[in-house]
Structure 1
Amino acid sequence: MIPPNFISEGSLFGGILKLRNAIEAVVFSLGIAVPVLKIAAFSFTTKIIILCLTALPAGIFALIGVGGESLTAFLMNFFHFLRTRRTISVETVCVSEEKRTDKHLFPDIGDLPEEFDEEEKVSARKKRKKKQPAEADFFPVEKIENGICYLKDKRYIKIMEIEPINFLLRSAREQRNIVYSYMSYLKISPVKMQIKVISKKADIGSHLQKIQNDIAQEKNEKCKILLMDYYNLIRRIGLKEAVTRRFFMVLEYEPMPGGSKKNEEKEAIAQLHIAEQTARTYLRQCGNEVIEQEKPEEFMAELFYILLNRKKSNSVGFVENAAEAVDEYFLAVDKTDKIEIPISSLVMPKEIKFQKGSYIEIDGLYYAYFMIPSDGYKSQVAAGWLSLLVNAGEGIDVDIFLNKEPKDKAQFRLGQQIRINRSKMKETSDTNTDFDEIDSAIRSGYYLKEGLANNQDFYYMNILITITADSVEELEWRSNEMKKLMVSQDLQMKLCYFRQEQAFLSTLPLNKMEKGLYALSKRNVLTSGVSGCYPYVSFEMSDDNGILLGVNRYNNSLIIVDIFNSKIYKNANMAILGTSGAGKTFTLQLMAMRLREKNVQVFILAPLKGHEFRRACHNIDGEFIQISPASHHCINIMEIRKTDQKANICLDGDQRAERSELAAKIQRLHIFFSLLIPDMSHEERQLLDEALIKTYALKGITHQNASLYQQDGSYKPMPVLGDVYAVLMENPETKRMANILNRLVHGSASTFNQQTNVRLDNKYIVLDISELTGDLLTVGMFLALDYVWDKAKEDRTVEKAIFIDEVWQLIGASSNRLAAEFVLEIFKIIRGYGGAAICATQDINDFLALDDGKYGKGILNNSKTKIVLNLEDEEAQRVQEILNLSDTEVMNITHFARGNGLILTNNNNVTVEFKASALETEMITTDRQQLQELLKRREMKQ
């Protein structure tokens, strides 16, 4: 509930006219009419005409008012604007000698410029005019030290940045818990708070720079082409669609009554530090994090710089601008040993124009400030309703001011006003609209009184809205669109006529609102109503060092994910779920290609439709390995592979002598043979173990790792399956196993009986096992995984990703527990080797079939990030139960079009539209119509 203001100003004539407006109308009319009537030179008819042209319009204007204000208030504000409108130009500012002190404000910003010689100093001083420090007086911040802002009005404030969550996609129960947690914080929060939301074009400069670095370092020409195409895609999306939002909370020091001014600064620093820690603790319960700033002073200065230089800050960073300002400042002042550079010189724009009553111009951008008037709210709102304003679009900022009133004072005023309104109501006819107004004020008063009795606090809340644009026409268009949006939600928005400068200063993160704007826009609300205005609702996933997945459908922010960032994600594993045709293979390949472009080692296992991966693999100069009876490719399962252990030895020391490479290999060979011979008895397992040891012994390989090496330091020739077959045939008790193995030695699948003959050093490797059928499919998949796992464990400091398509083939009902355990083990421990395991599956029921879903659930639990594409109703219901999705999310999942999905990570769910360039789509698409178009284009080229 956001109840109407309980104090009613009263009205006349059934609520048609406001009392103040009526009094002003009478005064204005009489003030004009009396002198006119006393003019003897005019006839009575002439006097009536003059009064109709003067007194009557003045009286009507006074009755109606302007912009919700009375005529006198509007005129006073208008004349104040005419008197004070100006242009502030920073270029004409120089700090006088008496304002210099012996401290630098930012000693760590950069080295001060070298000493100028006398001729340069004289020349610089002649070129620069010395005037009064207009911008220094205008900017309200005196200095930034000790992690807080010292303001010129002797206040102390602390600015914190808050990470939002995706509130709207949470279940009703989760939303309720978040609101209650936020309410708990409000009960112990400072008396005055400002919450600021900034919305602007996404800053993709840093991400683009990293891509350019990748292009410069990439040696493969085909990858360079893809990287340049990816660069253009990011740039195009960033310019057209991408929006980013930042959330700030401003806390103010509250001096104790009768406190000592002597120690006020120390008390302010300590109290604001405690307030920050308290906010951090309580907001964490809501799922939000207060961002830890390594240099809080620089963070706050940079925030002011961004707010005051929106256009310039897109191309010139704060540190770079500060360095330029320092250089200019030293040219403009006389040489002294100790000089303080004012904060205004580092953050203020070149020019601020307060020339128009409906907007201002700063740094080439146009700003218009609006407020939600006191009567502009709905009485009942849904939790998180501010998302309407927060997600309104680029260039829309929101400022929320909360002022907690003393409870005893509020209760006294409530009781007094309720009695006054009840007496008014007795004198008012129930047919008048004035009756409804008074009745609403009484009901509001009782609601507030009851809330205060139930330990809630009384607040006044104000909301200002800032709209920015590149031109006046665009500003008007955005303002009109915003008004339509507000009206559609039964909200009002009014322009701050002739108060643009006051609104501009109010929206700076200084926790101070101009008195006139405060009076026009304040709305009484209880703690429960404030908590329902929970503002941190626009979650973004953006990491400059990540890869682009797409655009957030709710707020148009870029989804750039670095799954290897251990500060954000506990592990880099991912699971992609979706029905057939939902775009799993497309999404999986898109991620694989972009990771390869970032020089991440990529392995892809394709148990079905391996041909869909060939085109992309060829165009990225990858290695396509086909494991099948008909292929000449072979990975020798018996091979003990020589791996690069330099990094591991450097980190942990040489432990190779403590670990038998042969024993480790034989342990994995047992899994291979158990897949090939599922009904193997315990006795046969023992006999197989002996046969494997004998096979390696025949090649001179024992449990001593030194036996692996030849004199030149290379590994000895490894046995193949035919060597095991020969040993098994020697013993009558193992002939059954030999006969089963014969298929891979002399039978139709004899290509398995070879030494490894494929390249293993490529950065993009696809292992196609889709032509294997029946029991050979799981055997082939294990063979591929065994090879990949050896490579993944080589260097823990190198990023690598293992993609397993259609993982249900390995962990489903038709698979083997040993194979499923092996896959689950990869998901559990690959993080320790600096890698990521990423799987995709379309058959949810089979994915969760083996051992009552033990392995499928294990994979999901060990995947910090899940991507859910379109699912059928039955599958969606099952996924809802496992992933705790809300009904709204389930409905979205069942209606997703191809190219859309739900990303779940770190307790935040984001609906994303995946983005691929035309070149990427051409490489990885599996859509029949797109393939037909591609075929036609290539035939035309031939």
Structure 2
Amino acid sequence: MTRRTIISWLAEGLQRCGPLNEESEVGAASVPGPSALRVNARTVELPGEVCASFAVTGYPREVGAGWLEPLLTYPGRLDVSLHVEPVPPLVAAQRLRRQLARLESASRADAHRGRLADFAAEAAADDAAELAASLARGHGRLFRVGLYLTVHAATQDDLDAEVQQVRALTASLLLDAQPATFRALQGWTTTLPLGVDSLNVRRAFDTTALAAAFPFSSPDLQPRLGETPVLYGLNAYSAGVVVWDRFACDNHNSVTIARSGAGKSYFTKLETLRLLYQGVQVAVVDPEDEYRRLAYVVGGTHIGLGAPGVCFNPFDLPPGQDEDTLIRRALFVQTLVAAMLGEPLAPTMRAVLDRAVIAAYAAAGITSDPRTWKRQAPLLADLAAQLDLAAQAGTAEAGELSARLAPYVTGSYRGLFAGPTTTRAEGHLVVFSLRDLPEETRPVGMLLALDAIWRRVTDPDDRRRRLVVVDEAWTLMRESEGARFLYKLAKSARKHWAGLAVVTQDAADLLSSDLGRAVIANSATQILLRQAPQVIDEIAEAFHLTDGEKAFLLSAGRGEGLLCGTEGGSDRAAFAGVASAQEHRLATTDPAELAAPQRKKAGPQ
């Protein structure tokens, strides 16, 4: 160990310990660093391991995208460090001129003495001339790049075997890796995440070659990155990362298909959480109440439709001041009543209902004058009262409508419409839970949630990136109103700067219907997790999967999947989802993990 390294470690330890006084004591245990370190000629011995470092001194003449990928995917422990230093354009031009002069002089001297031509020197001269022309036109820049490797092993014998394998790998890449003899400590510190190049073995790179050497470049997926990139996971076949931005695609929609238990809801929650970091507003239709904990932790809004004490008034007017706001709300109430009755309304009955809706608004003091729209909106009971008045005046259709609406006004289904709206659908995350809704009222509650989401998406006074997540979409596909909403949102969401994320475990519902196929066709991001053998052939035909991709989806673990990054699905990336411990606690739905804190709190019985 060098004296300078020891002094720097001691100085850092003293700074962490704070100022000295008479009561403070600084011992060896308070100084950061290894407990023991032995520097040999070519190796550094650390507690429990030994390592050897190499500097790359020779490179191939031409490289392709992701040419460092074999080093990054080495199965053993191999640290790869790439140090980049930009060269000022003036200095780069001067060095290139001197290099061209040396090469030209050597070529002429060989020709004068009658020697054979040095083809390597001629190739270097051509490359230098091409690079000089590129710099002169401003098409690129010059960089000094150092590439260093550190191999780790438990024992010296294991290290020797690992070194042989790494040197064979670098030779296959046409890289010349030389050991850092008598500079083993400097080689080890150079590959640490300190940003310090102690070996200073550099090579000149242009912009194109340096971009190809970027460690995160992936030859199997060309990411489209904008302002809202999201980490999907790690590449299943390499150490690279899979980063994707749905808002940088042609449209912002996605479809996620997987069998039950494959991790589709887990993956969707991770993407939702990471999009919230980017300032994207998210609305979720949650049939199973799986997003409650996520909404509470991030300060979102959770609306449990059907839960005791939760009311949602369909007569509420949106905050916009369009002249047809009242008319559009009256039309929606008619659609809602048709859903309550379970059948389309006859023309005469629709006319009676329209007059009753306008009369209910008028009784609450709300007219076509926008200044009256801030008054408290009427309730469903007020509409029933207007229908009763029309029935007393001799309108038979009004009496029939009032009688059929009785379960929602005074009967078993009145809870959702019994009073004014208790929770406004506002905030950066809004979750509509449908779990507590009975099957008889689920279409009605679903229509209320979809209408609230559509009003936010189409608000002309509040344009921003939005994502609408429809989890377990097969439950919506069974309902005509839900299927029409998905189709409408998939077609027009891009116009309103919004994206639709459809998540389903029943691929047959999407692939067997025209609406489902339209949703897939309008999704630029397609995510396939583990599939069941019964539907893999249908999935393979719809998404043009190869035999290898079919085998991967049949054997994929939880959270592993295939990202098809374009509308045509030509760019593919197999990935494994990753999450931090805190993200995992918010996203998991494993009953065993959710029950563990409760058992711990209860204590031994």
Shorter-chain TM-score: which interval?
0.5 to 0.7
Amino acid at match of 2:284: I
Match of 2:371 in 1: 709
- 1:806 corresponds, among 472, 480, 489, to 472
CA distance in 2, matches of 1:759, 1:717: 14
Partner in structure 1 of residue 378 of structure 2 = 719
Residue from 238, 252, 257 that aligns with 1:577: 257
Partner of 1:553: 236
Taking the aligned partners of 2:455 and 2:564, their CA distance within structure 1 comes to 30
Q: Report matched runs for 1:545-694 at 5 Å.
A: 545-565=228-248, 569-607=249-287, 609-610=288-289, 612-628=290-306, 630-643=307-320, 656-657=322-323, 660-683=324-347, 684-694=349-359
Question: Does residue 916 of the first structure (1) align with residue 593 of the second (2)?
Answer: no
Structure 1 unmatched ranges of 5 or more: 1-192, 202-239, 245-308, 323-339, 348-402, 404-465, 499-503, 513-534, 646-655
CA deviations 1:50-99 (Å, max 9, x no partner) are xxxxxxxxxxxxxxxxxxxxxxxxxxxxxxxxxxxxxxxxxxxxxxxxxx
CA distance in 1, matches of 2:160, 2:78: 22
Tell me what 1:539 maps to: 221
Instruction: Give the C-alpha shift of residue 921 in structure 1.
Output: 0.9
Check 1:495–1:547 CA distance in 2 against 1; reply closer, same or farther (3 A cut): closer
Is residue 251–residue 523 contact of structure 2 (8 Å, CA) maintained in 1?
yes
- Code of the residue aligned with 2:579 in structure 1: it is A
Is the alpha carbon distance of 1:932 and 1:573 closer, same or farther for their aligned partners in structure 2, counting shifts above 3 Å? same
Pairing of 1:176-255 with structure 2 (within 5 A): 194-199=62-67
1:435-514 aligned at under 5 Å gives the runs 468-471=147-150, 480-481=164-165
1:914 is displaced (CA, Å) by 0.5
Deviations 1:228-267 (A, max 9, x none): xxxxxxxxxxxx99999xxxxxxxxxxxxxxxxxxxxxxx
Q: Distance in 2 between matches of 1:511 and 1:587?
A: 35
Q: Of 594, 597, 604, which aligns to 1:931? A: 594
> What CA distance in whole angstroms lies between the structure 1 residues aligned with 2:167 and 2:573?
28
Aligned match of 1:776 in 441, 449, 458? Answer: 441
In 1, Cα distance between equivalents of 2:206 and 2:163:
23
What is the CA-CA distance between 1:767 and the residue it aligns to?
1.2
Instruction: Name the aligned partner's letter for residue 919 of structure 1.
Output: Q
State the AA in 2 paired with 1:679. Answer: E
Per-residue deviation at 1:495?
Answer: 7.3
Give the Cα–Cα distance (whole angstroms) in 1 for the partners of residues 282 and 275 of structure 2. 7
Report how far residue 884 of structure 1 moved.
2.1
Q: Which of 362, 382, 387 does residue 697 from structure 1 map onto?
A: 362
TM alignment of 1:779-790, pairs within 5 A: 779-790=444-455
Separation in 2, partners of 1:509, 1:590: 38
Helix, strand or coil: the match of 2:326? helix
Sort the Cα spacing of 1:242 and 1:933 in 2 relative to 1 into closer, same or farther, 3 A: farther
Residue 78 of structure 2 contacts residue 151 of structure 2 at CA under 8 Å; is this kept in 1?
no
Task: Report the TM-score, using the length of structure 1 for normalisation.
Answer: 0.43
Superposed counterparts of 1:853-892, under 5 Å: 853-892=513-552
Deviation at 1:345, TM superposition (A): 7.9
Q: CA deviation at 1:550?
A: 0.7
CA distance in 2, matches of 1:776, 1:766: 18
Which amino acid letter does the alignment assign opposite residue 465 of structure 2?
E
Cα displacement (A) at 1:844: 2.0
Aligned to 1:835: 498
Cα distance per residue 1:290-325 (max 9 Å; x no partner)? xxxxxxxxxxxxxxxxxxx93245xxxx4xx75xxx
Give the TM-score normalised by structure 2. Answer: 0.65
Shift in Å at residue 606 of structure 1? 0.9
Partner secondary structure for residue 381 of structure 2: helix
**Cα deviation, residue 342, structure 1:** 2.4
Which residue identity is paired with 2:253?
N
Question: How many Å apart are 1:779 and its aligned residue?
Answer: 1.3
**Structure 2 contact 146–202 (Cα < 8 Å) conserved:** no
The letter for the 2-side match of 1:787 is A
CA RMSD of aligned residues (A): 4.0
Unaligned runs of 5+ in 2: 1-60, 70-75, 97-126, 128-144, 154-158, 179-200, 210-216
CA contact (8 A) 1:540 1:557 kept: no
Q: Retained in 1: the 8 A contact 2:234–2:240? A: yes
Q: Deviations over 1:15-40 (max 9, x none)?
A: xxxxxxxxxxxxxxxxxxxxxxxxxx
Distance 2:253 2:218 in 1: 27
Aligned-pair identity in percent equals 23
Distance 1:846 1:243, change over 3 A: farther
The answer (yes or no) to whether the contact 1:902–1:909 under 8 Å persists in 2 is: yes
Which residue of 412, 424, 430 corresponds with 1:765? 430
CA shift for structure 1 position 542:
6.9
One-letter code of the match for 1:617? Answer: A
- Tell me what 1:310 maps to: 82
3-state DSSP of counterpart to 1:888: helix
C-alpha displacement of 1:786: 0.8
1:739-766 C-alpha deviation (Å, 9 max, x unpaired)? 2322221112212222112143322221
**Alpha carbons 1:675, 1:779 under 8 Å: kept:** yes
Point out the structure with max Rg over C-alpha.
Answer: 1
Contact 1:199 1:243 in 2 (8 A): no
